[in-house]
Structure 1
Amino acid sequence: MKNLKSRIIAPFFVVIGACSGAEPTTYTQTQKDSITLMTAEDVSYQPLNPARGDASPQAGVLWGDISKDVASGMVLKFSDGFSSPPHIHNITYRAIVISGAIHNDDPDAANMWMGPGTFWTQPAGEVHITSAQSGVGGTGFLEILEGPYLVQPGELAFESGEHPLNLESSNMVWMNADQMNWIKVDDIEDGPEVTLLWGNLSESALSGSMIRLPPGYQANLSTHGGELKSVIIQGNVTHTVAGVTAPTDINAGSYFASAENIPHTLSCNIETACLVYIRTEGRFQIK
């Protein structure tokens, strides 16, 4: 399993600037209907593998349908001390630890506990195990670009040509407005930071990134040319879409989404920084 100590970030085509609240905007009914907000408390969970009974991880689907051939996102909860048998998946997934400590590696690998904010990938067909640390358990966000999501015996292993990645949160390279000297920025200090996790931000291309908002910071997040899907990974955020939704307090495991060109106002609490995962089609904007 690869464990990278650094990551070079390609040009972002992202605008980062100071935020003074969302500008009043008139939306079409189609745009309004695209706005989705699901708090962590509203996520409905079911056993990922009912045959394992209480030992099964619990899956809460945020979007899509993991039983069908569609892109999906879900929150997985692993119980204290959970450990899977060696297995494979039929498709590749990407994931981020939300809480606790999770191990995901070859069956014979020593435990390498991944903490909150850590990003990992699991290629289709590769035998591995997944565990949650005793005493703390583990919760993660998991995303697939195709389905269905199946757990299969290790004997069915196959080579997909992909390679796994474990990127510990402390090894990520975060870039702020001062370091993004190829884009237009306002004069701000201690503003938001961004790290690209997968894909690229060219026109209409899919990508996944994380945004880090400083404590007490307010930002408007929107996309250009495609939909936005976003999951709170860490911290407490007040979310609103001006003129459409009321301010709502959301925390880790919550989900929001919309069509393009709809600013989501995010206000990070004053106690801790906030980590927000975003999946976009093309460019996104933070200001």
Structure 2
Amino acid sequence: MRILTLLLTITITLNTNLTDIVAQEPATSPVSEVVLATDVNWTPLNPARGDASPQAATLWGDRAGQQATGFVVKFVDGFSSPPHIHNITYRGVVIRGGVHNDDPQAEPMWMPVGSFWTQPAGEPHITTARGSTMAYIEIDQGPYLVMPTDEAFDTGESSVNVDASNIVWLGANSTTWIEASPNSQPTGEPQLAFLWGDPQSNQPNGTLVKLPDGFKGSIRGNGSHLRAVVIQGQAEYLSDRDTDEVILAPGSYFASQDNFSHRISTHGQTECIIYVRSVGKFDVVTQ
């Protein structure tokens, strides 16, 4: 397996067609919601391994159910799983530490914060961690199961490992998803990296959003589900309906339905990277 340079769109072939995925997208209720990283409920990712299991916290959906789901997983330094498979394909984004996810015989290839990978259903692999590690994991259909390698199967999918240094970022001159106000202050422009799905269709897709230090603006949905997880840095967050600003640290989550604006600023800190799963298009608006 080798690190691939991220192109404009990486489309992952799944066992389930996109029409089914949209139907299984769990409803967001109320119209918007925020989950702080400090408020999540941690449980064993693989209860069969007891204390040796990584810990997981569901942000949306239900990883034991049939629907699409997003959750964060944390690993202790030096964690290494036995070879195993999963019944479904998943995607991952590194939030903290380093992740090696590959064939059991592969040489270590450590993916740092902001890296993206996919693990095809049925493919034997191991997952190891370097440092205190956290990652965001997403599935398009549950349940999420850990199974022995003697039950391996081949779906024809290929795994993808994208180091953060190989991600291709697009600015306002390259995508219509970024809107700059004529009155905005020059703080550096937001940038996007399309990870999976077809960003031109009204179907699920995944995108990284990079907001520069000093950014002030919003991430605005366009009529359907929008789900976002802070990957790096932190966001000062204020929704359309709230008057109290909250700080979203890495691993925090916000979501909405309809044409909803999530107001975000990044004052006095490093750039902020946010993973966004949307159905169709969303906009990053600079004030």
TM-score range, shorter chain: 0.7 to 0.9
Which of 251, 258, 261 pairs up with 2:259?
Answer: 261
Q: What is the CA–CA distance in structure 2 between the aligned matches of 1:183 and 1:259, rounded to whole Å? A: 19
3-state SS, counterpart of residue 33 of structure 1:
coil
Q: What is the CA–CA distance in structure 2 between the aligned matches of 1:150 and 1:103, rounded to whole Å? A: 20
**Structure 1 residue 225: deviation in Å?**
2.9
2:88 aligned with 1:91, yes or no? yes
Q: What is the CA–CA distance in structure 2 between the aligned matches of 1:141 and 1:182, rounded to whole Å? A: 23
Q: What is the CA–CA distance in structure 2 between the aligned matches of 1:245 and 1:33, rounded to whole Å? A: 17
2:39 aligned with 1:42, yes or no? yes
Which of 136, 144, 165 pairs up with 2:139?
Answer: 144
Q: What is the CA–CA distance in structure 1 between the aligned matches of 2:243 and 2:253, rounded to whole Å? A: 14
Q: Which residue of 1 aligns with 2:56?
A: 59
**Structure 1 residue 236: deviation in Å?**
1.3
Contact 1:59–1:76 (8 Å) recurs in 2: yes
Amino acid at match of 2:123: E
Contact 1:235–1:269 (8 Å) recurs in 2: no
**Correspondence list, 1:190-201, <5 A:** 190-201=188-199
Assess, with a 3 A threshold, how the Cα gap between structure 1 residues 183 and 98 changes in structure 2: closer, same or farther. closer
Assess, with a 3 A threshold, how the Cα gap between structure 1 residues 199 and 31 changes in structure 2: closer, same or farther. closer
Q: What is the CA–CA distance in structure 1 between the aligned matches of 2:263 and 2:39, rounded to whole Å? A: 20
TM-score by length of 2: 0.87
3-state SS, counterpart of residue 126 of structure 1:
coil
Which of 228, 231, 238 pairs up with 2:229?
Answer: 231
**Structure 1 residue 284: deviation in Å?**
0.5
**Structure 1 residue 242: deviation in Å?**
2.9
Q: What is the CA–CA distance in structure 2 between the aligned matches of 1:183 and 1:61, rounded to whole Å? A: 30
**Correspondence list, 1:31-180, <5 A:** 33-133=30-130, 136-180=131-175
Contact 2:124–2:152 (8 Å) recurs in 1: yes
TM-score by length of 1: 0.87
Q: Which residue of 2 aligns with 1:15?
A: none
Which of 202, 211, 214 pairs up with 1:204?
Answer: 202
Assess, with a 3 A threshold, how the Cα gap between structure 1 residues 93 and 179 changes in structure 2: closer, same or farther. same
Amino acid at match of 1:57: P
Contact 2:222–2:260 (8 Å) recurs in 1: no
Structure 1, unmatched stretches of 5+, are 11-29
Q: CA RMSD in A?
A: 2.0
Q: What is the CA–CA distance in structure 2 between the aligned matches of 1:36 and 1:186, rounded to whole Å? A: 26
2:5 aligned with 1:5, yes or no? yes
Q: What is the CA–CA distance in structure 2 between the aligned matches of 1:94 and 1:31, rounded to whole Å? A: 21
Contact 1:223–1:282 (8 Å) recurs in 2: no
**Structure 1 residue 89: deviation in Å?**
0.2
Contact 1:38–1:256 (8 Å) recurs in 2: yes
Q: Which residue of 1 aligns with 2:270?
A: 272
Which runs of structure 1 show a deviation greater than 4 angstroms over 4 or more consecutive aligned residues? 181-189
3-state SS, counterpart of residue 226 of structure 1:
coil
Assess, with a 3 A threshold, how the Cα gap between structure 1 residues 181 and 197 changes in structure 2: closer, same or farther. closer
Q: What is the CA–CA distance in structure 2 between the aligned matches of 1:73 and 1:180, rounded to whole Å? A: 26
3-state SS, counterpart of residue 70 of structure 1:
coil
**Structure 1 residue 183: deviation in Å?**
8.0
**Structure 1 residue 245: deviation in Å?**
5.0
Assess, with a 3 A threshold, how the Cα gap between structure 1 residues 54 and 218 changes in structure 2: closer, same or farther. same
Percentage identity across aligned positions? Answer: 44
Q: How many residues align?
A: 266
Contact 2:229–2:275 (8 Å) recurs in 1: yes
Assess, with a 3 A threshold, how the Cα gap between structure 1 residues 242 and 159 changes in structure 2: closer, same or farther. same
Higher relative contact order (CA 8 A, sep 6+): 1
